[in-house]
Amino acid sequence: MVLDDYRNTADPYLLPLARKLRNVNPNTLTWLAFVCAVLAGLSFYYSKLWLLLVAVLFVFLNALLDALDGKIAKISGRASKRGDFLDHVLDRYADVFIIGGIMLSAHCDWVIGLLALLGVIFASYMGTQAQALGCGRDYGGILGRADRLAILIIVPLIQILAYIELDGRIWLFTPMEYAMIWFAIAGHVTAVQRGIRTWKKLGKKS
């Protein structure tokens, strides 16, 4: 939620690019963002040091394209419920591929990765469930998607330094494991926060 609060702050940088790409089908960018997520997950999975840099690049491209598709849809007048649905579905699969790749890699214990994946999925589910019940899409909580992607751009770089200077770990865990532990904790906290807000809104409607 920290970075989601500043979505409009990025508009001066994103809108000029979105205007240049206004003739591109927004759904094409949505699919390209998903492909980048798959490639990021594979780069994490194969666990080579140089592939961490490749993973960072693909995570960044996923974040950029994911931010652009909606803006292009609005600018070009092609915003639609089908496009919004496709975006949300592929975002969830993107989360699975990226975090799943980390979970199955040599950078992270699979149990920690699985807990992180569950936290992220439940947080996202509670946000969309609020919308399904007529309470509006809930992006609130301490861990939004923008926060996750920012962490997944920064932490792999720290992981590279940890491999070079240390044995890959900082105290008990690798940097990637610390990130996944945070996703596990913050993801479930975010799910609870969104659930409470939705429960209160439903109470006011009844």
Q: Report the 3 state secondary structure along 11-64.
A: HHHHHHHHHHCCCCCHHHHHHHHHHHHHHHHHHHHHCCHHHHHHHHHHHHHHHH
37-50 confidence digits (pLDDT tens): 999 999 999 999 99
Q: Does 7 score more than 70 pLDDT?
A: no
> What are the backbone dihedrals phi and psi of residue 172, each rounded to the nearest 5 degrees, phi first?
-90, -25
Q: Does 8 score more than 70 pLDDT?
A: no
Residue 13: pLDDT band with limits 50, 70, 90: confident
Per cent of the chain over pLDDT 90 is 77
The arrangement of secondary structure in 4-205, i.e. its CATH architecture, is: Up-down Bundle (1.20)
Length of the chain: 206
60-92 confidence digits (pLDDT tens): 999 999 999 999 999 988 989 999 999 999 999
Average pLDDT, the chain: 93
98-144 confidence digits (pLDDT tens): 999 999 999 999 999 999 999 999 999 998 888 888 888 888 899 99
